């Protein structure tokens, strides 16, 4: 008794490859046209994470780090006022992230829009702007 071997024919394989090619041609440009939106999302998520670390710092030390102490106070114990008497020996962040455009996040305490202002100046690295150049701050999130 002879068994018929199952498998795909060359035509079937070619049809699948053509279908995958068509899907890739339609989907990839849609995904690749949004890298700037992805950078804005990354900046917002970084700001949320840094703000959470600042809140933990405040819980331990009863105040946010000053503008002079800066965000570096989340990585290494700061000196100066206000004193960080209960600073966590492990720190609050392993390292400070930079924004998706390669610039440091900016921090002011007291802030003009809240207890502190934590923000990125966007794609252009300048204050203000619109669209992708707009500032992205803790007050937006």
CATH of the domain at 121: 3.30.700.10
Query: Is residue 54, in this structure, part of any structural domain at all?
Result: yes
pLDDT exceeds 90 at position 50: yes
Q: Which of 112, 93, 109 is nearest to 46 (CA)?
A: 93
CB 90 within 8 A of CB 111: no
Query: Is residue 7, in this structure, part of any structural domain at all?
Result: no
**Residue 46: per-residue pLDDT:** 93
Task: Quote the tokens at residue 114.
Answer: 């809240």
Domain count, the chain: 1
Query: Is residue 27, in this structure, part of any structural domain at all?
Result: no
CB 107 within 8 A of CB 90: no
pLDDT exceeds 80 at position 2: no
Task: Quote the tokens at residue 129.
Answer: 């702007």
pTM score of the predicted model: 0.75
Query: Is residue 118, in this structure, part of any structural domain at all?
Result: yes
Q: Please, which pLDDT band fits residue 91 given cuts at 50, 70 and 90?
A: very high
Domain that holds residue 133: 34-137
Query: Is residue 64, in this structure, part of any structural domain at all?
Result: yes
Query: Is residue 103, in this structure, part of any structural domain at all?
Result: yes
**Residue 33: per-residue pLDDT:** 61
pLDDT exceeds 90 at position 72: yes
């Amino acid at each position: 008794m002879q068994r018929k071997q199952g498998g795909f024919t060359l035509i079937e394989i070619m049809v699948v490859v053509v279908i995958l090619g068509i899907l890739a041609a339609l989907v990839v440009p849609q995904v690749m046209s949004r890298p700037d939106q992805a950078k804005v999302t990354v900046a917002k998520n970084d700001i949320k994470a840094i703000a959470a670390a600042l809140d933990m710092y405040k819980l331990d030390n009863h105040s946010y780090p000053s503008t002079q102490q800066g965000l570096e106070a989340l990585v290494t114990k700061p000196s100066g006022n206000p004193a960080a008497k209960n600073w966590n020996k492990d720190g609050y962040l392993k390292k400070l992230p930079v924004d998706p455009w390669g610039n440091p996040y900016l921090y002011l305490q007291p802030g003009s829009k809240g207890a502190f202002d934590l923000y990125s100046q966007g794609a252009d690295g300048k204050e203000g702007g619109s669209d992708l150049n707009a500032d992205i701050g803790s007050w937006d999130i």
